[in-house]
Amino acid sequence: MLSRATIHHDVAAILQARNPRITLTPGMPLGAEGLGLDSIAIVEVLLECEERFGVVLAAELLSSPNLTVDALLERVRVLVET
C-alpha cells in the first residue's frame, strides 16, 4: 500500500505539473480562485490521479461543494487505503 507521504508527493507532482510556479496550500481550490485550472485541466488532473492510483474519484469530487487540494488528497488516500 502507498504511504500517505507518497500519495501527497504524487498528487502534488500532478498538480504542480499544471502550474509549477504556485505553492500548494491545503485549502486551495483547483479552479480559478486557487490553482488556476480551467474546467478541462481540472478533469485531466482528476483522471491522471485515477490512473496513477487505480481509483475512481472524478465524478464524486466534481459534485462535491469544495474541490480543493486537501479534498483531493484525502479522497485519494481513503480510496487507496480501502
The residue among 59, 61, 65, 69 whose CA lies nearest residue 34 is 69
Q: What is the contact mask toward another protein in residues 14 to 43, using x (rule: CB under 8 A)?
A: ----------------xxx----xxxx-xx
Q: Is 46 in the site for another protein (CB under 8 A)?
A: yes
| 11 lies in the site for another protein, by CB under 8 A | no
- What phi-psi label fits residue 36: left (phi over 0), alpha (psi between -120 and 50 degrees) or beta? left
Query: Which residues lie near another protein (CB under 8 A)?
Result: 30-32, 37-40, 42-43, 46, 58-59, 62-63, 67
